[in-house]
């Protein structure tokens, strides 16, 4: 049982390749041709490197099903990295990760093709959120190239929303005197993420890509760009610390093992909690006297923060605890905001997995009721939060019932039947829920 990845074709800024999954695993792929686009010419990238983006998306799906993957050619160091990442994922997810082999007709040491001295620059995967901004602060002496990806949080077909985000990132890069580069891929429409979620939600805390695929997947997308720009290190900001014991798709055991050619990858900031990262950003803002906008929201279609989702509320709370006014950092925070946060918790309006509960406990750990906050009502809110049990509040937060039903249906229906019925069912469920 083998996934076959055809040799990639490159036309200026675009790399494409066909992926043929084994019949039994066809349900996890939509049938789209894999595609990744850069804002620089990557036509000189050797096939052993240009195949990496596709391999990085396909392999975790194959390993979850005990399947092999075959390619014509691959970089030698990346092949070794895949084997190490595979073993790490098996260790993380023994309930469903089975493993598999990578079969390559040719294994190439691409380090022989370029002078290592030409890979002295650094890159940083950058979204403009707390984690990546903190990593910029930590690595700013190296003037890292900011690399932003369209296709994960913002879909590869959401161009208007992406242009808003891209504008914010470009302004950040310009204000801080660093280069910004952009990657666009259909990795999440090439994979059938709905079907992956249906099969593996039982085993993971979040979505498939967050819980399993995004460390290897996002870093792999940067390989042709890193080869072209001469990036010897690509940093990926950590989401958690070692205190978070749930498996996650981006982790030192994964990210620090990803490598190709002369490029190493680095899982940055694992020793800092999210609140400690906000404190780091606060110290940077004060010492350098810079204006900064954070973009953490995944709900807003406008590319800005929506100011009413769990993540926006969590970030506002963190900024206040660091002595900052969220209104100065891209948020709209007023006394009414704290009533909305408390009401959201008490009504079970927020979807709260282990990840979110971990973050809110971190906020609780940093509450200091003796300090003065820049927004009225904050002290009363933090007094309530400090006395609350986050796990109990989260227990009432569940995904919609129709989502559980759809996932059960997906696991048990023959794929052709499910593929025909799922869009109809989801449309009806959306109407029923008022979305």
| Helix H or strand E encompassing 9 | strand 9-11
- At 333-384, the pLDDT tens digits run 999 999 999 999 999 899 888 999 999 999 999 999 999 999 999 999 999 9
Please report the pLDDT score of residue 200 as a whole number. 94
Range 239-246 average pLDDT: 94
Determine if residue 204 is left, alpha or beta; phi over 0 gives left, psi from -120 to 50 gives alpha, anything else beta.
beta
Range 90-113 average pLDDT: 96
* pLDDT exceeds 90 at position 113: no
* pLDDT exceeds 70 at position 12: yes
* pLDDT exceeds 60 at position 320: yes
Please say whether the beta carbons of 375 and 325 come within 8 A: yes
* pLDDT exceeds 50 at position 427: no
DSSP 88-147: HHHHH-TTT-----EEEEEEE-GGGGS-GGG--EEEEE--SSHHHHHHHHHHGGG-PEEE
* pLDDT exceeds 60 at position 402: no
* pLDDT exceeds 90 at position 400: no
Look at 115-119, 211-215, 428-432 and tell me which has the smallest mean pLDDT. Answer: 428-432
Look at 42-56, 384-398, 407-421 and tell me which has the smallest mean pLDDT. Answer: 407-421
Look at 131-140, 165-174, 348-357, 399-408 and tell me which has the smallest mean pLDDT. Answer: 399-408
| Helix H or strand E encompassing 390 | helix 390-395
Please report the pLDDT score of residue 424 as a whole number. 45
Look at 134-138, 273-277, 295-299, 399-403 and tell me which has the smallest mean pLDDT. Answer: 399-403
* pLDDT exceeds 70 at position 207: yes
* pLDDT exceeds 90 at position 303: no
Please report the pLDDT score of residue 123 as a whole number. 98
* pLDDT exceeds 70 at position 428: no
Look at 45-59, 208-222, 284-298 and tell me which has the smallest mean pLDDT. Answer: 284-298
Burial 112-151 (b: 16+ CB within 10 A, else e): eeeeeeebebbbbbbbbbbbbbbbbbbbeeeebbbbbbbb
Please report the pLDDT score of residue 396 as a whole number. 62
Please report the pLDDT score of residue 416 as a whole number. 52
| Helix H or strand E encompassing 169 | helix 159-176
Nearest to 294, CA basis, from 310, 318, 273:
318
How far is it, in rounded angstroms, from Cα 130 to Cα 136? 10
Look at 117-126, 225-234, 240-249, 412-421 and tell me which has the smallest mean pLDDT. Answer: 412-421
| Helix H or strand E encompassing 267 | strand 263-268
DSSP 28: G
DSSP 8: P
Helix 354-365 × helix 274-288 angle, to 10°? 50
Nearest to 182, CA basis, from 15, 39, 12:
39
pTM (predicted TM-score): 0.90
* Percentage of residues in the chain having pLDDT higher than 70: 90
Higher-confidence residue: 153 or 130?
Answer: 130
Determine if residue 147 is left, alpha or beta; phi over 0 gives left, psi from -120 to 50 gives alpha, anything else beta.
beta
* Percentage of residues in the chain having pLDDT higher than 90: 82
Q: What is the CA radius of gyration of the chain?
A: 22
Average pLDDT, the chain: 91
Q: Is 26 helix (H, G, I), strand (E, B) or coil?
A: helix
* pLDDT exceeds 70 at position 236: yes
- At 287-300, the pLDDT tens digits run 998 889 999 987 77
Please report the pLDDT score of residue 17 as a whole number. 97
């Amino acid at each position: 049982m083998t996934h076959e990845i055809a040799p990639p074709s490159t036309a200026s800024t675009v790399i494409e390749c066909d992926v043929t999954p084994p019949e039994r695993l066809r349900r996890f792929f939509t049938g789209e041709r894999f595609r990744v686009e850069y804002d620089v010419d990557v036509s000189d990238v050797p096939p052993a490197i240009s195949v990496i983006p596709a391999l990085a998306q396909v392999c975790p799906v194959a390993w979850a099903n005990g399947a092999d993957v075959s390619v014509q050619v691959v970089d030698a160091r990346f092949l070794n990295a895949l084997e190490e990442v595979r073993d790490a994922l098996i260790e993380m997810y023994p309930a469903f990760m089975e493993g598999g082999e990578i079969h390559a007709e040719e294994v190439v040491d691409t380090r022989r093709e370029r002078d290592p001295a030409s890979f002295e620059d650094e890159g940083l995967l950058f979204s403009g959120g707390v984690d990546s901004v903190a990593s910029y602060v930590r690595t700013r002496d190296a003037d890292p190239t900011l690399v932003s990806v369209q296709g994960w949080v913002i879909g590869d077909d959401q161009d208007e929303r992406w242009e808003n985000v891209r504008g914010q990132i470009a302004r950040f890069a310009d204000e801080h005197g660093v280069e910004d580069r952009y990657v666009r891929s259909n990795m999440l429409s090439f994979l059938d993420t709905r079907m992956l979620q249906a099969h593996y939600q039982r085993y993971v805390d979040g979505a498939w890509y967050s819980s399993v695929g995004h460390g290897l997947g996002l870093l792999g997308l940067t390989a042709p760009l890193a080869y072209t720009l001469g990036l010897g290190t690509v940093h990926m900001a950590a989401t958690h610390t070692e205190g978070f014991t749930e498996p996650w798709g981006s982790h030192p055991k994964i990210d620090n093992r990803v490598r190709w050619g002369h490029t190493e990858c680095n899982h940055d900031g694992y020793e800092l909690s999210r609140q400690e990262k906000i404190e780091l950003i606060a110290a940077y803002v004060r010492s350098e006297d810079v204006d900064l906008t954070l973009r953490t929201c995944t709900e807003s279609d406008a590319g800005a923060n929506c100011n009413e989702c769990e993540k926006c509320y969590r970030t506002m709370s963190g900024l206040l605890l660091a002595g900052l006014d969220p209104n100065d950092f891209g948020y709209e925070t007023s006394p009414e905001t704290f009533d909305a946060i408390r009401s959201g918790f008490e009504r079970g309006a927020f979807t709260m997995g282990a990840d979110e509960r971990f973050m809110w406990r971190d906020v609780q750990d940093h509450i200091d009721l003796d300090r003065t906050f820049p927004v009225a009502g904050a002290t009363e809110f933090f007094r309530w939060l400090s006395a609350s049990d986050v796990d109990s509040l989260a227990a009432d937060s569940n995904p919609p019932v129709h989502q559980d039903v759809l996932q059960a249906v997906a696991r048990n229906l023959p794929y052709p039947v499910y593929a025909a019925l799922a869009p109809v069912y989801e449309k009806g469920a959306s109407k029923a829920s008022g979305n």
